[in-house]
């Protein structure tokens, strides 16, 4: 089975509500979608972070893909090992789009779910996290903001059945602490997290971390920047520290271990360059006694299905993963079903999802009109 063609689209999909973090507010998501076609008639679909810059990189790899087997992923990744060096995250994202499409094709060719190709299921359903941002309380400010967000979070948990809640933090450290106190008072039994995306200084992270210890947070994610900064915070704060920012390549794993900087690492198929790389990260985390979870960069259905396959086949991924899937107003596949805060792992061959090509073309046309909403 050989690859004979590669198709690439860039799509824009709206969010149900604006989503705010310490560095942006977005109302929609831009994603790159890839399809590989083979001489046997099997097709494989992939999807990854960001838009036109990533799509251009994928297009540039077409000549290296034509005539090769989707099963030859190790050779493909070895040949493209310099791509992230030159393109950074964009390079990893482009590699991941092709990687996921190849796994989908391999599963369809063998009539096996990707989950089974990765070692088989250890779980059939994957809990996801309810994400809370300041944009969820429009019009509220000052002393009313914490209460308004707590009321919103209670509604989301009750309606969706979520077992974990994550606050997207801001540069307003004390405001975030007040919101977390209100969330814990309103939701005493959920796993509670906060992620300021490294917007806090080391001293502010220490002060806030000590103040938050009484709230029994599941973890504090990237309060400050860098392995050195996280190490200083970890030495003084008893809340487990998680990162999606200071350990994002294998080269950063050993320094983080030497400095005892983190307790939990967020993987991401699309930031780490593919499914096998994410599974390798899981092996590293288990070997060193770390926890692991998955980051969300705004995955639509194809990318979410790949994350579900990884989680379903990886014992260490036992927490509610981050997923923005439920925040999208539409999808380019027949939608995945969310029930009681959990997504069921697809059961069909490959990723187990069916692309709606009419919707794909529609949202690609939206991108043509609007341009990229995210990088």
Cβ atoms of 336 and 99 within 8 Å: the answer is no
Rounded Cα–Cα distance for residues 40 and 225 (Å): 48
Q: How confident is the model at residue 23 (pLDDT cuts 50, 70, 90)?
A: confident
| pLDDT tens-digit map of 62-121 | 999 999 999 999 999 999 989 998 999 999 999 999 999 999 999 999 999 999 999 999
For residues 274 and 307, membership in a common domain is answered with: yes
For residues 221 and 168, membership in a common domain is answered with: yes
Catalytic residue from among 87, 166, 266, 295: 295
User: What is residue 289's DSSP assignment?
Assistant: T
Q: Which is nearest to 372 in space by CA: 102, 93, 169?
A: 93
- Scanning 17-171, the segments in alpha helix (DSSP H) are 52-60, 62-65, 73-79, 83-87, 89-110, 114-117, 143-160
Q: Which is nearest to 186 in space by CA: 220, 157, 224, 226?
A: 157
| pLDDT tens-digit map of 195-220 | 999 999 999 999 999 999 999 999 99
Query: Does 70 fall in a domain?
Result: yes
Q: What pLDDT sits at residue 218?
A: 98
For residues 90 and 136, membership in a common domain is answered with: no
Query: Does 201 fall in a domain?
Result: yes
**Burial class of residue 266 (count of CB atoms within 10 Å of its CB; 0-12, 13-18, 19+):** buried
Domain at 50, CATH number: 3.30.390.10
Q: Which is nearest to 103 in space by CA: 93, 94, 113?
A: 113
For residues 272 and 316, membership in a common domain is answered with: yes
Q: How confident is the model at residue 375 (pLDDT cuts 50, 70, 90)?
A: low
For residues 150 and 259, membership in a common domain is answered with: yes
Average confidence (pLDDT) over 146-161: 97
Rounded Cα–Cα distance for residues 53 and 88 (Å): 12
**What is the overall mean pLDDT for the chain?**
96
User: What is residue 128's DSSP assignment?
Assistant: B
Q: What pLDDT sits at residue 25?
A: 84
**Burial class of residue 130 (count of CB atoms within 10 Å of its CB; 0-12, 13-18, 19+):** buried
Q: At 19, list the tokens.
A: 């989503």
pTM (predicted TM-score): 0.96
**Burial class of residue 112 (count of CB atoms within 10 Å of its CB; 0-12, 13-18, 19+):** middle
Catalytic residue from among 152, 168, 266, 271: 168
pLDDT at 4 over 90: yes
Q: What pLDDT sits at residue 20?
A: 84
Query: Does 246 fall in a domain?
Result: yes
Number of structural domains in the chain: 2
Cβ atoms of 280 and 105 within 8 Å: the answer is no
User: What is residue 248's DSSP assignment?
Assistant: -
| pLDDT tens-digit map of 341-362 | 999 999 999 999 999 999 999 9
For residues 27 and 173, membership in a common domain is answered with: no
- 168: annotated active-site residue: yes
For residues 148 and 17, membership in a common domain is answered with: no
Domain at 333, CATH number: 3.20.20.120
| Residue 61 structural domain | 3-111+356-370
- 279: annotated active-site residue: no
DSSP helix, strand, coil percent of the chain (3-state; round to 5): 45, 20, 35
Query: Does 350 fall in a domain?
Result: no
């Amino acid at each position: 089975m050989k690859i004979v063609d590669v198709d690439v689209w860039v799509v824009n999909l709206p969010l149900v509500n604006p989503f705010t973090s310490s560095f942006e507010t977005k109302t929609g998501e831009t994603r790159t979608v890839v399809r590989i076609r083979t001489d046997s008639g099997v097709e494989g679909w992939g999807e990854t972070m960001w838009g036109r810059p990533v799509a251009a990189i994928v297009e540039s790899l077409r000549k290296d893909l034509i005539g090769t087997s989707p099963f030859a992923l190790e050779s493909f990744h070895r040949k493209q090992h310099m791509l992230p060096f030159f393109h950074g995250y964009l390079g990893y994202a482009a590699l991941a789009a092709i990687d996921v499409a190849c796994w989908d094709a391999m599963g369809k060719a063998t009539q096996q779910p990707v989950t089974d190709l990765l070692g088989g299921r250890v779980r059939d359903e994957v809990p996801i996290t309810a994400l809370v941002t300041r944009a969820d309380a429009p019009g509220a400010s000052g002393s009313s903001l914490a209460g308004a967000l707590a009321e919103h979070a209670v509604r989301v948990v009750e309606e969706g059945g979520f077992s974990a809640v994550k606050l997207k933090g801001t540069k307003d450290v004390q405001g975030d602490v007040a919101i977390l106190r209100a969330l814990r008072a309103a939701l005493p039994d959920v796993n509670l997290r906060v992620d300021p995306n490294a917007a806090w200084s080391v001293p502010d992270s220490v002060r806030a971390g000590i103040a938050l210890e009484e709230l029994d947070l599941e973890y504090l994610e990237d309060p400050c920047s860098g392995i050195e900064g996280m190490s200083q915070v970890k030495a003084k704060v008893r809340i487990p520290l998680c990162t999606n920012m200071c350990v994002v390549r294998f080269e950063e794993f050993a320094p983080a271990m030497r400095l005892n900087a983190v307790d939990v690492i967020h993987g991401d198929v699309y930031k780490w360059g593919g499914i096998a790389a994410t599974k390798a990260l899981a092996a590293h985390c288990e070997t060193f006694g770390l926890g692991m979870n998955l980051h969300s960069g705004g995955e639509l259905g194809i990318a979410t299905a790949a994350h579900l396959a990884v989680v379903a086949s990886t014992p260490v991924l036992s927490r509610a993963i981050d997923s923005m899937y439920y925040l999208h107003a539409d999808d380019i596949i027949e939608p995945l079903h969310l029930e009681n805060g959990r997504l069921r792992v697809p059961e069909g061959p490959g990723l187990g999802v069916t692309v709606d090509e009419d919707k794909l073309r529609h949202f690609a046309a939206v991108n043509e009109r609007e341009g990229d909403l995210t990088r």
